[in-house]
Amino acid sequence: MSTAPTSSEASDMSSLLTRRKSGLPADLRTQKDLAALKIRPRFGIAQWVSIGVAIYLGLTLIQFFVFNENWKWDVVFSYLFSQVIMNGLLNTIYLTLLTTFFGLILGVITAWARMSSLVVLRTFAVLYIWLMRAMPPLVMLLVVFFFGALVPTLGIGIPFGPSFAEVPTNDVISRFSAAIIGLSIYLGAYSAEIFRGGILALPSGQFEACKSLGLPPFKAYQKILGPQLIRVIIPSLANDVITIFKSTSLVSVIGYTELLTTVQTIYARNFETIPLLMVAVIWYLVLTSIAMFGQARLEKRFGRGFARRNQGSPKAALENAAKEDL
C-alpha cells in the first residue's frame, strides 16, 4: 500500500525536477552545493577585442617611451639620485609634512567653528571656506609672500591706537614660511569640509549614546566617534594630502628650492628640459604611490569590523545564499 510523500520528499522531488530542466546535475541538492561550483565567465568577442586593444596600446607605449631616443633616459638616470635632486626632494617632503600638519589642525578648528551654535564662529568659518574655494593656491602663495607690501609691520596693539610690539613683516614671512602658510591655509579650508562631512555621516544615535553614557566630548571622539570618523574621511583626506604634495611645485614662483625648482635650475643651464622634467615626474610618482599605499593600509586598519560582503559576483551571491540556507 503506497503512502503519500512527505513535505520534505515533495520538496526534494520538485528541486530535482527543477535541476533537470535547468541542466544542473541531479546530485546538487542545496545552495551550498551551488556555491561550491566553479563559475567561469564567458569569453566572448568583447573580451578578445579588449585584449587586442590592450596589446596595441601596450606596444604603442613601449615604442613611445623605450625606443624614442629623444627621452634621453641616460640623462634621466644620471640625475635621478644626484645630491642636488635629493636635496630638492627632501625639501618637498619636509614642506608637505609641515603643510599637512598645520592644514589639518586648521581644518579641525574650522570644522568645529562651522558646526558651532555660535553665529559669529559659523559666519567666519563659512567666509573662510568660501574665500579659499574662490582663490587658486598660486594666488594664495603670492598674496602671502608679498604680504609685506600690504602690511609692512606686524604687531600687537589697539586698533586705531598705539602698538605695543612690532616686527617687520619681511623678517617673519620668508620663502619657506610663506609656502607653509599659503598651502596650510588652502588645505585647512578643504579639509574642514571633509571633517564636517565625516561628522554628518555618523549616525545620530552614536552621539546620543555618548551623551547617555555621560562621556565628555573629547572622550566620546577619542573612544567611539573618532575611529568611525577616520574610517569615513580617509579616502577624501588622503586625496587632498596628495594634491597638496603636488601643489608644492607651485612654490617655485616664490623662489623656494624644492624638487621642481631644483629641476628648473638644472635644465636652465644644460638645456636638457625633457629629461630633467622626467626626473621630477618619476619622484612625484614614487612619493604618490607611497602615499596611496599608506592610505590603503589606514583604510584596512580602521575598516576592521566594517567589511561589507561582496555581492557583485555570482559566486559571492551563491555563497551568501548558502549561508542563509544553513
Condensed to tens digits (0 to 9), the pLDDT of residues 71-80 reads: 888 888 999 8
The residue behind cell 555621560 is: 214
Number of neighbours of residue 271 by Cβ within 10 angstroms: 8
Alpha carbon distance 112, 121 (integer Å): 9
Please state whether beta strands 153-157 and 163-168 pair in parallel, antiparallel, or not at all (unpaired).
antiparallel
**Domains observed in the chain:** 82-154+167-256+286-305 (1.10.3720.10)
Element (H, E) at 15: helix 7-22
Cβ atoms of 126 and 238 closer than 8 Å? no
Beta-carbon contacts of 223 under 8 Å, excluding residues fewer than 6 positions away, are 215
What does each C-alpha distance from 30 to 5, 15, 22, 104 come to in angstroms? Answer: 20, 9, 15, 53
Q: Are 128 and 193 in contact, with CB atoms under 8 Å apart?
A: no
Q: What is the pLDDT of residue 204?
A: 73
Q: What 8-state DSSP symbol labels residue 224?
A: I
Is 309's pLDDT higher than 50?
Answer: no
Angle at 296 between CA 65 and CA 218, to 5 degrees: 145
Say which residue, 144 or 35, is predicted with more confidence.
144
pLDDT in tens, 172-203: 888 899 999 999 999 999 999 998 888 887 77
What is the model's pLDDT at position 311? 46
Average pLDDT over residues 233-260: 88
Residue 91 CB contacts under 8 Å (≥ 6 apart), including other chains: 256, 257, 258, 259
Q: Which of 267, 270, 293 is nearest to 280 (CA)?
A: 267
In 3D space, the residue among 112, 96, 115 whose CA is nearest the CA of residue 179 turns out to be 96
Query: Over the stretch 268-277, which tens digit does the pLDDT of each residue have?
Result: 898 888 999 9
The Cα-based distances of 260 to 98, 194, 236, 252, 264 in angstroms read: 18, 29, 26, 7, 6
* 301 touches 8 (CB < 8 A): no
The three three-digit cell numbers of residue 225, written as one number: 566617534
Q: Is 294 helix (H, G, I), strand (E, B) or coil?
A: helix
pLDDT bracket for residue 131 (50, 70, 90): very high
What are the phi and psi torsion angles at 153 (to 5°)? -130, 145
Distance CA 293, CA 124 (A): 36
What type of residue is 34? L
